[in-house]
Amino acid sequence: MSTDKRIGLEGKIVAITGGYGHLGSGITEAILNHGGVAIVLGRSQEKFDFLKNRINHTENLHFQFCDIGDQAIVAEAFANIINRFGNIDALINNAYFGKSQIPENMSDEEWQLGIEGGLNAVFRCIREVIPHLKQGGRIINISSMYGSIAPNFKIYDDFPAFLNPPNYGAAKAGVQQLTRYFASYLGKKGITVNCISPGPFPSPDVQKNTGFVKELEQLTVLNRIGQPHELGGICVFLASEHASFITGQNIAVDGGWTTR
C-alpha cells in the first residue's frame, strides 16, 4: 500500500488544448506546480510565449501547434508529442471555439461552428489520442455548468452582450455524455475519463463590466466568481494516481451555483 500522500504529477506528460487561455493558463500552471510536464496545444505561439513569460517551472512547459478543428493536424500533434516525449499520460480537452449570437438571429453556420468547436473537436481529440494512451491514462474534458442547466436569463436583461448562446450549452451537454460513453468504452483498457463543469469564470475583459460580474457573484453560494487556479486543482487531482478509481464523472466547479 502506498504511503505517498502527495497529489503529484512528477514526470507525467499532460497535454492541454488551449492551455494558454483564461482557464487553460490556470490549468497549465497547476500541472507545472505539481511536477508535471505541460504540453500546450494551440494555434498561437505568441499567446504561448506570453504565458511562458509570466509563470514558473517553464523548463517543463512546451508548445505544440494544433488546430482542434482539423483531424490531420490533431493526429500529427499527438504523434509529435510521442516522438518528442515518448508518452502521453493525460489529455485535458479545454479548447473551445464558436461564435455567440442571439438565438433568433443565429444562422445554421453559426450554430454549427459552436457545435464543431465545443463538441466535435473534443471527440476528435479523444479519438486521436486513444492509440497513444496506455493503462492508467487520463482524459479530462472541460464542459460547463450550462451543459447541465439552462442559463438564468434575468442576468442578461441589462447585459445582452454577454448572452450565453444555445449551441454552447448543447455542445457542453454533449461533452458530458461523451465523457460517460468513453469512460465505459475505455474502462477495459484502464483509462479513466472524467468531466469538469466550470461555473462563472469570466475572462478579464468581461470582468471589466463590474455590473455583470456582480450579477454572477450573487448567483453563487460563495458570492464571488471563480479564478483560473481554482480549476487547476481538480485537473491535477483527476490526472494524478489519487483519482485512479474515478471515471465517468462530471464535477461542477461553480461556487455552488447549481445547488440552488
Q: Is residue 211 part of a domain?
A: no
Q: For residues 172 and 125, what is the distance between their CA atoms, to the nearest angstrom?
A: 15
The predicted pLDDT at position 4 comes to: 56
Which residue stretches of the chain have pLDDT < 50? 1-3
Q: Which domain holds residue 67?
A: 13-151+164-206+226-259
What pLDDT digit, counting tens, does each position of 200-240 carry? 999 999 999 999 999 999 999 999 999 999 999 999 999 99
CB-based contacts of 75, cutoff 8 Å, min separation 6: 128
The radius of gyration computed from the CA coordinates of the chain, to the nearest angstrom, equals: 18
Q: Is residue 119 part of a domain?
A: yes
Query: Which CATH number is 58's domain given?
Result: 3.40.50.720
DSSP 232: H
Single out the residue of 216, 131, 125 nearest to residue 175, CA to CA. 125
Q: For residues 52 and 56, what is the distance between their CA atoms, to the nearest angstrom?
A: 8
The three-class DSSP label of residue 204 is: helix
Q: Is residue 249 part of a domain?
A: yes
- Residue 139: C-alpha distances to residues 132, 151, 178, 255 (Å): 12, 27, 11, 24
**How many structural domains compose the chain?**
1
- b/e for 17-54, b at 16 or more Cβ within 10 A? bbbbbbbbbbbbbbbbbbbbbbbbbbbeeebbeebeee
What pLDDT digit, counting tens, does each position of 50-84 carry? 999 999 889 999 999 999 999 999 999 999 999 99
Q: What pTM, to 2 d.p., does this model score?
A: 0.96
Q: Is residue 158 part of a domain?
A: no
The predicted pLDDT at position 256 comes to: 98
Q: Is residue 114 part of a domain?
A: yes
Q: Is residue 217 part of a domain?
A: no
CB-based contacts of 187, cutoff 8 Å, min separation 6: 247
Q: Is residue 218 part of a domain?
A: no
Q: Is residue 88 part of a domain?
A: yes
